[in-house]
Amino acid sequence: MNVKIDPFKCVGCGLCAETLPELFFMGPFHAQVRRGTLTHHEEPLVAQIAEDCPSEAFLFEEDAVPSLTRGTVRNSYDESDHNEKEG
Ligand code: SF4
């Protein structure tokens, strides 16, 4: 899972950076993410901080999964090729 902080929502209280300085730090105006990809161990901790964040500035997204290309499977079978011509 990846985490981001919305700079337009963050009010700069410092809670996330104080609690998990290995992941967040305070920039001049708002918190910033040091490392956005969370380990499974970190996910519940960050979820708790996100809940405690006074401005709901946390954004989560699942790890990118390679998308399957949806192609059109064309059936090359042409019935006319297999019609036996009689006569
Ligand atoms: S806890 Fe929320 S409001 Fe406080 S610094 Fe972190 S992101 Fe900003």
Domain CATH for 23: 3.30.70.20
- Ligand 1 mean position, distance from CA 58 (Å): 8
Total domains in the chain come to: 1
* Those residues with Cβ within 8 angstroms of residue 7's Cβ, 6 or more apart along the chain or in another chain: 29, 30, 57
- Ligand 1 mean position, distance from CA 74 (Å): 52
User: Tens of pLDDT along the chain (87 residues)?
Assistant: 999 999 999 999 999 999 999 999 999 999 999 998 999 999 999 999 999 999 999 999 987 655 555 544 455 555 555 555 555
In a domain, 47, yes or no: yes
In a domain, 37, yes or no: yes
In a domain, 49, yes or no: yes
Quote the CA–CA distance of 11 and 48 in Å, as a whole number: 18
Q: 5 near 60, Cβ under 8 Å?
A: no
Token pair, residue 29, equals 């105006």
| 33 in contact with ligand 1, CB cutoff 6 A | no
Token pair, residue 69, equals 């290309």
